[in-house]
Structure 1
Amino acid sequence: MMRFPEVFRIDGDAGESGAFLIRIKGSAALRVIASNGGGWEHVSVSLRTRTPTWAEMSAVKSLFWEPEDCVVQYHPPASLYVDYHQHCLHMWRPLDVWVPVPPTWMVGPATPRVSDEDGADGC
């Protein structure tokens, strides 16, 4: 379930969608817009002069979602692509829908964990 780190809020009502300015050690201030509606939880993360790094996106993910929540970054078909801001990345979490993820062995060595019979996991 999505949460809103109120200490970073710069616009919007507490506990709801809004804008956030997040300062992470060793990083420029991240501009974040978070929303939950239409069956989706969504966070966009941007910087003025560069695209957020994996570490920055992971830090934002940990602020807005629980550790075991699965969120995704999409690379949509070209016909659906929207480039409103060249240095903005998005994280999405559909509500009430299971999201498949590849088995961990396809990604790399990992600590064994329980998975579906065919080795695929989901969230």
Structure 2
Amino acid sequence: MSFIVPEKFRIKSGPLASNESYGNNGAFWVKTKKCVFTVIASDQMGWEHVSVSLPTRCPTWEEMCFIKSLFWGEDDCVIQYHPPKSDYVNNHPFCLHLWKPTEQTLPTPPSFMVGKAGAA
């Protein structure tokens, strides 16, 4: 599966407005029972990208997994970078990013280096 935006959450009016003609680029309010995420998506310059923010805290791991599942398939590998401090950009204190290059496959470590499969 490739990058697909969830159209039902697209912001269609106001300063963040876009429509389907923008393709996989635009802003989205993803509403759940607990909160509303502001998500900005793009697929430009060889990258698929979403930024995910909340007004008063950073998204949790589980929440980022949920957002990932809305924009990519379960077999897609996306990453969250931790760049050198000299390259930090922080325009929002509670925003995290997911990235996937479009022209190469991301390397991943063997699963045994992460932990024992199936262990809780």
How far apart are 1:106 and its partner, in Å?
A: 1.0
How far apart are 1:16 and its partner, in Å?
A: 3.0
Contact 2:3 2:24 in 1 (8 A): no
How far apart are 1:108 and its partner, in Å?
A: 1.1
Q: How many aligned residue pairs are there?
A: 110
2: CA distance, partners of 1:106 / 1:4: 32
Which residue of 19, 40, 44 corresponds with 2:27? 19
5+ residue gaps, structure 2, are 12-16
2: CA distance, partners of 1:40 / 1:12: 20
TM-score after normalising by structure 2 = 0.87
Partner of 2:43: 36
Identity %, equivalent residues:
54
Partner of 1:4: 5
How far apart are 1:23 and its partner, in Å?
A: 1.4
Partner of 2:63: 56
- Secondary structure of the structure 2 residue equivalent to 1:62: helix
2: CA distance, partners of 1:101 / 1:65: 17
Which portions of structure 1, spanning 4 or more consecutive aligned residues, are displaced by more than 4 angstroms? none
Contact 1:45 1:89 in 2 (8 A): yes
5+ residue gaps, structure 1, are 112-123
How far apart are 1:13 and its partner, in Å?
A: 2.2
- Secondary structure of the structure 2 residue equivalent to 1:20: strand
Contact 2:26 2:42 in 1 (8 A): yes
